[in-house]
Structure 1
Amino acid sequence: MKHLFLLVLLLGTVLPASAGDSFHALAMNGQPRYPADFSHFDYVNPDAPKGGQVRLAATGTFDSFNPFIVKGNSADGLGLLFDTLTEQSLDEPFTEYGLLADRIEVAKDRSSMTFHLREGALFHDGTPVTAQDVAFTFKILVEQGNPHYAQYYADVERVHIADAQTVTFFFKPGSSQELPLILGQLPVLSEASWKGRDFAASSLDIPVGSGPYRIGEFKAGQRLTFVRDPGYWGRDLPVNKGRHNFDTIIYDYYRDLTVTLEAFKAGEYDFRQEYNSKQWATGYTGPAVNSGLIRTENIPHKLSQGMQAFVFNTRRDIFSDPLVRKALNFAFDFEWSNKSLFYGQYARSTSFFSNSDMASSGLPSEQEKELLKPLDLPEEVSTQAFSLPVSDGSGNIRDNLREAAGLLRQAGWSVKDGKLVKDGKPFVFEMLLVQPDFERVVLPFQRNLTRLGITMRVRMVDTSQYLERLRGFDFDMIVSSFPQSLSPGNEQRSFWHSSSADMPGSRNYCGIKSPAIDALVDLVIAAPDREALILRCKALDRALLWGWYVIPHWHATSWRVAYWDKFGRPEKPADYGLDFQSWWIDPEKERGLADKRGRLGLK
């Protein structure tokens, strides 16, 4: 893979980049909210007390402390170990401030960028963080890390080390406007700690990081403890002030989601974010909830919600025809599901950029049509408003199933003896699941498909097997999501681009290989400004929707959180992130909670 990236990791002289400006922060659009001399983010309490222990729950198991590779099941929370070059602000759409880097230069022609590292930045073993470590990290992630890194950083042509504190990234022509911010997200690893070790091998060797926490006690697959480093080099930086307040963070692993909720209500752990609407509506009952020891809350946010969906694997012949994929959309009754299963808590996702200004709607604008015109796409993309099948919520979707049957006939399928067949082969496929609570959504869908003569087999597997099958695209249909930031860019290659369709470990679960969508992805990545980005995302959205690559699900516009009443938190929450690292243990609340739990006979 080395020849693809032309990495130049030299201490010698190279041609300099065109002179650029120096920044304390980078904003994708406009100017950073905070000046160079800011003291802390507005969504934290800079005087938050340090101390205490918080217990959290994780699902499944773990057998690796390397979150950067495909192999193994990496533990939750490992981001606490590794500092990045910059830190993203959570009250701006996409702005980053220096963390390991205290100064950032971007060439005026955007052909390169330079990070100047902070003096005094240290790894956990006491060695300094250097430009050589930055270059090493970039190289090893691209060559041996999860394949999405190679795509994420594909527009970097070479890396140059000027001195121990200065590293420059040179870009390919026409690179993404967000590439400087993407590089700011690079976690920096210690080159010395990896000498003589196989980076691509799953391992429980404790990594050397430079972040606010270190790994403490652990039991593989069951429990992992992070301990706050009181000597953390970056504890007083503006981007860290008022954050990383817990002395100890413990992750306990659970295999069953129902057991996980019951463990929370019994006091086995302290904080939980709820993703299941039924549990949110009916599951938070019992003495601890009724007495106010457990708080439940909806915290509004402004995040783009992307797309969650039933995902077709178009590599399978059975799903290669768009007519078939469209037909199966008519068999999913969202309105009934939302009413009967979700307690009306959700909005239907009708875009791959839901809840954002990048979502397409109605007829395409003239500007969108100009982008779409030269591309080989269905005529409807440019001439019609996309819409999903709807029902009255009663559960009777006879009209929708009649529409589905007509589409299947157009695709060459017919019903014989109650079974849908084509060329003598029945329409049979497998829905691969890893979350048991999704069965209640899948089974009504299965019944509707049965009425069409389609056999959908539901298979539940454990996390390890599920991840392995995803990496090799060994599935017919899955439940998955395509999260979107407020500034989509290089990650779109992993989602939709032909180059990722056959790359094990990529997020192109649909198996999309479309020159037209490739062109739109490239346009999104190369968008010169916010206006162009929005326009190009809308055009990409339309192409994806009319490809019927998924059966869209739903989204929410707030975080649902539940917690034992022992925490303090900032008065002003962030708009674009649930920053639990800015919460803290309130000693007075914790003492009162302990007394009340004792009276209720809880731990």
Structure 2
Amino acid sequence: MMAAGGVANATPVPTVHALALYDDPALPADFDHLPYANPDAPKGGTLRRAANGSFDSTNPFIIQGTPASGLEQIYDTLMASSADEPFTMYGLLAAGVRLDPDRHWIEFDLRPEARFHDGTPVTAADVVFSFRLLRDKGSPFYRAYYASVDSVTALDAHRVRFDFPDNDSRELPLILGQLPVLPEHYWQGRDFTRPTLDKLLGSGPYAIADIDPGRRIVYRRVDDYWGRDLPINRGRYNIDRLVYDYYRDQSVALEAFLAGALDLRLESSAKNWATAYDTPAVKDGAIRRVIVPDGQPAGMQGYIINTRRPALSDPRVRHALNLAFDFDWLNQHIFYGAYRRTQSYFQNSEMAASGLPGPAELKLLAPYRDQLPAAVFEQPLPIAQPQGLRPRLRQALELLREAGYEVRDGVMVERQSGRPLRLEFLLYDSQFERITQPFVHNLARLGIQSRIRVVDVNQYLSRLRQFQFDLIVGSYPQSANPGNEQRDFWTSAYAETPQSRNLAGVSDPVVDALVDDLIRANSRSALDTAARALDRVLRWGFYVVPQWNFDGTRVALWDKFGYPQPFPRYTPDFSVWWVDPQRAPAITARQRGQE
């Protein structure tokens, strides 16, 4: 007789309802709903939000095209995460899961009742098709994310198995739970690699209702959604219509919100938060402002430096750029003191490196002592800047001289060729123009000629895909449990892959090895240590000019929405919000009166 997992005479592997990266899932198999969801939340209403720029595709999985916002809501995944836990996945399309104790394979049991929006059952063949399609024809991200999977097999109509050649990645089984399942029958005869504006077929809680290319996309809640009564979904997906209106200028989007044309705004500007909401609707409570806590690491936002550019391939030049950035001035004069300087790629977590490397870190770093700067082992971390801009500019000037540059007639030039050091900041959001201008001014004091170029989103994405930029504003978001996605961020295999997230062009065998150490970590302490070692080496590489962070999400909303409190511990989850039927009519009338 064959045991579960297909191994004869072996101890059967138990079927479970959830997987946690470490420890056990917080919710039992018979849980009724997520602890931060309201199972009695009313259904109905509309939520209108702004999206930035434009779009020309409804396929979010491929290299080509600019995908519309919100498309993830039309697809179900094998499992779904809880925003109240660091990394735990609960069954969605999968009713149960079996994980090999040695972590060499995983099996998912699909729910027989799962259906795509056209009524077609979701089967194991669709899972196999989706995995292969995304890995082979999707964005390079999927190739990196699923790199450790050896094979995927449909065992029968409702059971699918993934095999791993090794068990180095503890998070890989949970990553496979995040797999979006696409309908094989729909994509037969269609070119997956080309952008489309079709209303693509999924199995999730929403379907595309209307598309105005480049201007608006509307989703409708699926009334007969097969999974609406599952415990993981109870109290979620309450709003009938989700509308994303596109604005090329964020100041126009803000005015549209204040005028009642939008219902909710995620405010990214500290200045706007401090000064732009002095309106009657705010004063009388028709518009509320809420800060939703975020327990995830802040990650890294900064000016990403393209090391593929010859002038930027020298870490001394990149270090000099870091020294010329004056966060303290920005925070005082532009940000109203709202931010903290970002120091780490794993900011606001135990994974952030500090001081000199400790014994556990040294054990990972010591084999590469000859390949790393001595400062990695001997000096405190570099981003904590000395006081005052002038001493930093003097230090930057010395670094540039060491790198072969000198100032001639007020212009920083390469000593041998006489070629000026010129840089371009490529932006698509005009909000960052005024923030970048002081940086440009400081670089000019060093003799570096730099300019700001603001382009539309489509042109911006086109240049990013081919790495045609000097510096951009970008981010490396991090979860409490980083893993396989770090390959796409940092490793040599993705340094020249179009549309990879290795935007800085990092190609360093030491970084490659440390990423592998992080992925192989088999305990929380091992993960923290590996992340600190990687963080330290990246910071001494000066691949980014770090900016700032804020440990929450600023939300401005017209006061017609309800949401459970307290908020989930780790990430905001707007799927549990609802339109309040008592407050909504008066607020909607107020909005219409202001438009």
- Give the TM-score range, shorter chain: over 0.9
State the AA in 1 paired with 2:413.
V
Shift, 1:384, TM fit: 2.0
State the AA in 1 paired with 2:382.
S
Shift, 1:597, TM fit: 4.8
State the AA in 2 paired with 1:402.
R
Shift, 1:415, TM fit: 0.6
- Quote the residue 2:558 is aligned against: 564
State the AA in 1 paired with 2:445.
R
Matched, 1:402 2:394: yes
Deviation per CA, 1:248-282, whole angstroms, max 9, x where unpaired? 11111111110000000000010111111111111
- 1:510-529 correspondence to structure 2 within 5 Å: 510-529=504-523
* Distance (Å, rounded) in 1 between the aligned partners of 2:146 and 2:477: 19
- Quote the residue 2:473 is aligned against: 479
* Distance (Å, rounded) in 1 between the aligned partners of 2:411 and 2:240: 60
* Distance (Å, rounded) in 2 between the aligned partners of 1:560 and 1:391: 31
Deviation per CA, 1:418-460, whole angstroms, max 9, x where unpaired? 1111121111111111110001111100001001010012111
- Quote the residue 1:306 is aligned against: 299
- Quote the residue 1:193 is aligned against: 186
- 1:358-437 correspondence to structure 2 within 5 Å: 358-375=351-368, 376-388=371-383, 390=385, 397-422=389-414, 423=416, 424-437=418-431
- Quote the residue 2:229 is aligned against: 236
* Distance (Å, rounded) in 1 between the aligned partners of 2:319 and 2:565: 47
Matched, 1:583 2:583: no
Deviation per CA, 1:384-427, whole angstroms, max 9, x where unpaired? 220325365xxx62111111101111111111111111121111
- Quote the residue 1:469 is aligned against: 463
Deviation per CA, 1:33-88, whole angstroms, max 9, x where unpaired? 00000000110111000011111111111111111001111111111100000010
Is the partner of 1:323 in helix, strand or coil? helix
2:204 aligns with one of 184, 193, 211: 211
Matched, 1:537 2:537: no
Shift, 1:14, TM fit: 8.1
- 1:112-511 correspondence to structure 2 within 5 Å: 112-375=105-368, 376-388=371-383, 390=385, 397-422=389-414, 423=416, 424-511=418-505
Deviation per CA, 1:353-382, whole angstroms, max 9, x where unpaired? 011111111111111111100012111112
Residue pair 1:330, 1:389 contacting (<8 A) in 2 also: no
Residue pair 2:293, 2:567 contacting (<8 A) in 1 also: no
Shift, 1:15, TM fit: 7.0
Shift, 1:303, TM fit: 1.2
Residue pair 2:298, 2:478 contacting (<8 A) in 1 also: yes
Instruction: Decide whether aligned partners of structure 1 residues 192 and 596 sit closer, same or farther in structure 2, where only a CA change above 3 A counts.
Output: closer
Is the partner of 2:192 in helix, strand or coil? coil
Instruction: Decide whether aligned partners of structure 1 residues 449 and 529 sit closer, same or farther in structure 2, where only a CA change above 3 A counts.
Output: same
Instruction: Decide whether aligned partners of structure 1 residues 38 and 455 sit closer, same or farther in structure 2, where only a CA change above 3 A counts.
Output: same
Is the partner of 2:556 in helix, strand or coil? strand
* Distance (Å, rounded) in 2 between the aligned partners of 1:566 and 1:549: 44
Matched, 1:81 2:99: no
Instruction: Decide whether aligned partners of structure 1 residues 264 and 232 sit closer, same or farther in structure 2, where only a CA change above 3 A counts.
Output: same
Is the partner of 2:142 in helix, strand or coil? helix
Instruction: Decide whether aligned partners of structure 1 residues 14 and 21 sit closer, same or farther in structure 2, where only a CA change above 3 A counts.
Output: closer
* Distance (Å, rounded) in 2 between the aligned partners of 1:389 and 1:409: 22
* Distance (Å, rounded) in 2 between the aligned partners of 1:597 and 1:21: 54
Residue pair 2:113, 2:121 contacting (<8 A) in 1 also: yes
State the AA in 2 paired with 1:405.
L
Residue pair 2:168, 2:521 contacting (<8 A) in 1 also: no
State the AA in 2 paired with 1:158.
S
Could you list the runs of 5+ residues in structure 2 that have no partner in the other structure? none
* Distance (Å, rounded) in 1 between the aligned partners of 2:149 and 2:164: 5
* Distance (Å, rounded) in 2 between the aligned partners of 1:28 and 1:512: 28
* Distance (Å, rounded) in 2 between the aligned partners of 1:144 and 1:205: 19
State the AA in 2 paired with 1:214.
A
Shift, 1:595, TM fit: 5.0
Shift, 1:301, TM fit: 2.2
State the AA in 2 paired with 1:52.
G
Residue pair 2:20, 2:88 contacting (<8 A) in 1 also: yes
Deviation per CA, 1:199-250, whole angstroms, max 9, x where unpaired? 0010011111000111112211111111111100000001100000011111
* Distance (Å, rounded) in 2 between the aligned partners of 1:434 and 1:391: 32
* Distance (Å, rounded) in 2 between the aligned partners of 1:218 and 1:110: 43
* Distance (Å, rounded) in 2 between the aligned partners of 1:272 and 1:257: 11
1:35 aligns with one of 28, 34, 42: 28
Is the partner of 2:383 in helix, strand or coil? coil
Residue pair 2:259, 2:591 contacting (<8 A) in 1 also: no
Deviation per CA, 1:14-34, whole angstroms, max 9, x where unpaired? 878985332100000111000
Q: TM-score, normalised by structure 2?
A: 0.96
* Distance (Å, rounded) in 2 between the aligned partners of 1:228 and 1:243: 11
Shift, 1:293, TM fit: 0.8
* Distance (Å, rounded) in 2 between the aligned partners of 1:525 and 1:508: 17
Seq. identity, %:
51
State the AA in 1 paired with 2:393.
L
Residue pair 1:333, 1:391 contacting (<8 A) in 2 also: no
State the AA in 2 paired with 1:237.
L
Residue pair 1:336, 1:391 contacting (<8 A) in 2 also: no
State the AA in 2 paired with 1:228.
R
Aligned residues: 586
* Distance (Å, rounded) in 2 between the aligned partners of 1:160 and 1:213: 29
Is the partner of 1:79 in helix, strand or coil? helix
Residue pair 1:144, 1:199 contacting (<8 A) in 2 also: yes
- Quote the residue 1:6 is aligned against: none
Deviation per CA, 1:77-129, whole angstroms, max 9, x where unpaired? 11110000001000000001000001011111110000100110000010100
Is the partner of 1:511 in helix, strand or coil? coil
- 1:101-112 correspondence to structure 2 within 5 Å: 101-112=94-105
Deviation per CA, 1:119-144, whole angstroms, max 9, x where unpaired? 10000010100000000000000110
Shift, 1:593, TM fit: 1.9
Could you list the runs of 5+ residues in structure 1 that have no partner in the other structure? 1-12
* Distance (Å, rounded) in 2 between the aligned partners of 1:204 and 1:568: 33
